[in-house]
Amino acid sequence: MINTQPIMEQYDVAIIGAGWSGLALARQLKRNNSDIRIIQLEASTEFKAKIGEATVESTGHYFLKKLGLANYLYRNQLPKNALRFFFDNEDYSLPIEKMSEQGTTYIPPHPAFQLERASFESALTDMNREDDITILQGARVTGFELDHQNEHTVNFKYQDEAHQISCKWLVDASGRAGVVARKMKSYSRENVPNHSSAWGRFSGVKDFDSVGTQEWRDGASSRFLSTNHFSGHGYWIWFIPLKNGQTSIGIVCDKTKVKNPPLKQADFIAKLKEHTAIADLMEHAEIDDFEAWGQLAYRGKGIVNRERWGATGFASMFLDPLLSGGGDVIAMANDNLTKLILADLANTDREAAQMALDEAVPYANEVVNYYYQFLYAQLMNLYPVLECAELCSPVMAYINATYFITSAWDYMAGNFSDYEHFAKNDFIRRGNYGLEMLMQRQILESLDVLRSENRAFVRNKEGFFETGADLYKYYIYQMGNKGKDGYRIDLRLKLFAECFAIITGSKLGLPNFGRRRMVQNVLNLPMILEKPTFGREDLPQLLVSMSNNLTQELQQTTEHTVLVKITEASFSNEMVEVSVVGDKADAKQLKIIKKTANGIWMRQQEYIDQVSFVPVFLRYARQQPLDIMDPMHPVRLEANELCEV
């Protein structure tokens, strides 16, 4: 298009790139300072379909509260119905209505969106131009020089003419091209997931809410609005609906398990159609575009530099699409870039401004690097079990619930740009990270046991429907409230303990284990920290402790002296052994005592009713190494396993 905006010689901020990360940053800056002069230089002349279509709740909050996009998004993009996982059998032959499923019944209360990127970025471009932000499409940057003590210079070619501008701040939002970040050697691929991806947009994909049986369709509302996941050994597949009627479909492969990832269009489609349910959904579909990346993840040194340049979006770093966390990283990066840039521009004392910048830059970078590392740890808890319904469903419910109680809550409360709060809670983050690594080991050991006993796929074929909404229902409407840090720590620990107990029950092969009140009262945080790989060798001690506890509780209900014994069989037959010591009870009395004992034994417990062990956690957290989250430490504990699929 022909640009009618004048090109000035000097700007406050120059942003290289006009994808949604750069467009959002420009809009955020302008909404907070209408006088700021911004130019965006975008190499492309058209708006294209891109990955990064699925968002989660922190990004939704960013769009609505920081950018004021509620009206646009609800009128022009699709709301997201959370993450949904379908579990197939070993040969991928189940129809979708026979698969077990983990997801939501209705759209969660905090909004997120499925973005059709081309139309979204076109709309943001129009909005920014209306706000007097200069956006040049077809502007190719040919060079730049950084001079933070004076002003940076940027050279670019636009409409066959060479231009040079100066700016006080330079931000790289050029995507994987990394125009500034690559020259500054900001990237690293050390200690990142070794994953590839291929994807395309398809027309004619069947509606998730129209396939299957009526009974299955009635089980949940608006499945099609979810980011829907299928999985195979070493890979997973996404289905994302777009407003224009297309469906984004992609595959992510763990290259330590998949020898030849499908990086060509024909191989990609063939791989998708190995799954009976997917082949049915794609029966009449046609592919509209295709792209593949041999390596997805890379790290960046940070989002901002004391020399007054920064990076956002793919130009800063990228981890993995599994939990749709890329938008959250952009939101955190843009919040902190906005805070630092505006404060710096407002300070006319350059020496004082530099001192303030030097103090703030490490915190801003640590915020985003922390989120990257913590998300990586949770991904490594989830990736190994994507095929296993019995483990994946509780792990995903836990990850979702802890996202709401920690990361999303902190974002909505402004804690990720409150450096005093962030510093004060450093040891809490280290403690939570330590627990995630501990959980990963138990998940991996449990998976090994299930595989060795041929139990890894048993629950996939049950056709169950499970949701994690019962975990976050207690606090979902409080998210973002300040002054509740202790409350959140307590609930997060209880979520951790329950998930650990459920995983352990699967490892032991004991039904109805993890949510049983008697189990939770003994297999609590202190015992987990003492026995972080709790297994069959630890079960006798657990049975004795539970027997003692149940004996004491039963004793409060009868005049007789009683003794209770819980055995492994008690988990399946829901019966405990009860004896009366000393004086004898008649048959009727004994029947009542046994019924009471079995009633106590069968009692399930909501996780919030667990005993609180916050002081235990605080001691544990303070004991964690200061560098526990350093990128040099491995996040993935699973041994490499290479097989051809």
The arithmetic mean of pLDDT across residues 245-250, rounded, is: 98
Side-chain half-sphere exposure of 640, counting CA atoms within 13 A: 9
Strands 247-254 and 235-241 come out as antiparallel
Under 8 Å CB-to-CB from 636, ≥6 apart: which residues?
193, 380
What is the distance between the alpha carbons of residues 84 and 381, in angstroms, rounded to a whole number?
17
Name the pLDDT band for 640 (thresholds 50, 70, 90).
very low
pLDDT-above-90 percentage for the chain: 96
What is the distance between the alpha carbons of residues 170 and 122, in angstroms, rounded to a whole number?
23
First to last CA, the chain: 46
Name the pLDDT band for 634 (thresholds 50, 70, 90).
confident
What is the distance between the alpha carbons of residues 327 and 363, in angstroms, rounded to a whole number?
20
The arithmetic mean of pLDDT across residues 182-206, rounded, is: 96
Six-digit token string for 515 = 């949510």
Long-range contacts formed by 561-569: CB under 8 A, 24+ apart = 562/593, 562/597, 564/597, 566/518, 566/601, 567/543, 568/510, 568/539, 568/543
In 3D, which of 35, 314, 22, 47 has the Cα closest to residue 170? 22
Name the pLDDT band for 631 (thresholds 50, 70, 90).
confident
Residue 2, pLDDT > 60, answer no
In 3D, which of 67, 127, 125, 68 has the Cα closest to residue 331? 67
Of 166-180, 378-392, 544-558, 628-642, the least confident: 628-642
Name the pLDDT band for 638 (thresholds 50, 70, 90).
low
Residue 644, pLDDT > 70, answer no
The arithmetic mean of pLDDT across residues 227-234, rounded, is: 97
Residue 307, pLDDT > 80, answer yes
In 3D, which of 25, 48, 199, 40 has the Cα closest to residue 119? 48
The arithmetic mean of pLDDT across residues 507-520, rounded, is: 97
Residue 641, pLDDT > 50, answer no
Residue 51, pLDDT > 50, answer yes
What is the distance between the alpha carbons of residues 535 and 637, in angstroms, rounded to a whole number?
18
What is the distance between the alpha carbons of residues 515 and 371, in angstroms, rounded to a whole number?
30
In 3D, which of 509, 506, 479 has the Cα closest to residue 491? 479
Mean confidence (pLDDT) of the chain: 96
What is the distance between the alpha carbons of residues 610 and 613, in angstroms, rounded to a whole number?
9
Name the pLDDT band for 639 (thresholds 50, 70, 90).
very low
Residue 585, pLDDT > 90, answer no
* Domains of the chain, start order: 1-48+116-188+298-346 (3.50.50.60), 78-114+194-296 (3.30.9.100), 359-515+607-623 (no CATH), 547-602 (no CATH)
Name the pLDDT band for 116 (thresholds 50, 70, 90).
very high
The pLDDT tens digits of the residues spanning 594-629 come to 999 999 999 999 999 999 999 999 999 999 999 999
Instruction: State residue 9's pLDDT score.
Output: 96
Instruction: State residue 313's pLDDT score.
Output: 98
Instruction: State residue 208's pLDDT score.
Output: 97
Residue 71, pLDDT > 70, answer yes
Amino acid at 411: Y
Residue 1, pLDDT > 60, answer no
Six-digit token string for 601 = 């034994």
Q: Using alpha carbons, list the distances in angstroms from residue 494 to 133, 180, 395, 398.
A: 48, 44, 14, 10
Residue 642, pLDDT > 70, answer no
Instruction: State residue 362's pLDDT score.
Output: 97
Residue 31, pLDDT > 80, answer yes
The pLDDT tens digits of the residues spanning 128-152 come to 999 999 999 999 999 999 998 899 9
The pLDDT tens digits of the residues spanning 285-294 come to 999 999 999 9
Secondary structure, 3-state, 402-427: HHHHHHHHHHHCCHHHCHHHHHHCHH
Residue 377, pLDDT > 50, answer yes
Residue 101, pLDDT > 50, answer yes
Considering the entire predicted model, what is its pTM? 0.96
The pLDDT tens digits of the residues spanning 468-488 come to 999 999 999 999 999 999 999
Under 8 Å CB-to-CB from 641, ≥6 apart: which residues?
256, 257
The arithmetic mean of pLDDT across residues 558-587, rounded, is: 94
CB atoms within 10 A of CB 364: 26
